[in-house]
Amino acid sequence: MNLAEHTLKVAVLRVREDQAKAEHAAARAQAEKAYATARLAGISQLKPRLPDGTEAGTLSIHTGETVVFFDEAELLRVTEESTPEHVEDYVERGALADKRVLDLLREHLPEFVGRRVTAERRAELAEALVSTRGILLNLKDGEKVKVATVDTHEPTGKFAYTPGKPGTAAILAALAAGTVTEHGEIAPEVTA
């Protein structure tokens, strides 16, 4: 192959790649709508099947995102009473623009100093509070306190597809045999 042939081949393949990526993105967006509904119905995995019945990998449908919304006042109160070592002083937003230092703020300007649960403890609690639906045990008095609201979003339809070596080989063979098209559809002569 000469330089001109290499150049043309690279250019053509790049355009085909761009088209394939755009087509894949569009197909994915369309499929995610259907997969969100399927996930709500309890379907978490699908197996793509070729016209001859061969499974071509596994498609896993992701669950909806789980988000924890803290009730800051209750979280701070329970943490201060239960595990005060997980509460820290912090400087209110904008206070560091003042020319004085943190020690002086704490001593002379307490209105600029607040208390909060450490980021590490919040991360631990966010994970644990999912299973308790936002309830935290106050270790001081045994009270169960709702310190967060846990919200699980509807599935979006996002998914992951893994063909694996057998799936890839089966798809390539089906493409070569003409039983599926390059667009992922069953060839018309196969359905007839």
Residues of the chain with pLDDT under 50: none
Residue 111, beta-bridge partner list: none
90/118 Cα distance (integer angstroms): 10
Query: In this predicted structure, what is the pLDDT of residue 34?
Result: 94
Question: Sign of the CA dihedral 167, 173, 177, 180?
Answer: positive
DSSP 8-class letter at 65: P
- The overall longest dimension of the chain from CA atoms, in Å, is 85
74/66 Cα distance (integer angstroms): 21
DSSP 8-class letter at 98: S
pTM flag (> 0.85): no
Burial class (CB in 10 A: 0-12, 13-18, 19+), 61: buried
Q: Where is 29: in which H helix or E strand?
A: helix 3-40
Contact of 184 with 60, CB cutoff 8 Å: no
Query: In this predicted structure, what is the pLDDT of residue 62?
Result: 95
Contact of 61 with 38, CB cutoff 8 Å: yes
Q: To the nearest 10°, report the CA torsion of 61, 62, 64, 66.
A: 160
SS3 64: coil
> Phi and psi (nearest 5°) for 19?
-65, -45
| Per-domain residue ranges of the chain | 3-64+154-191, 70-152
The neighbour count for residue 159, using CB atoms within 10 Å, is 20
Query: In this predicted structure, what is the pLDDT of residue 117?
Result: 94
Q: Where is 40: in which H helix or E strand?
A: helix 3-40
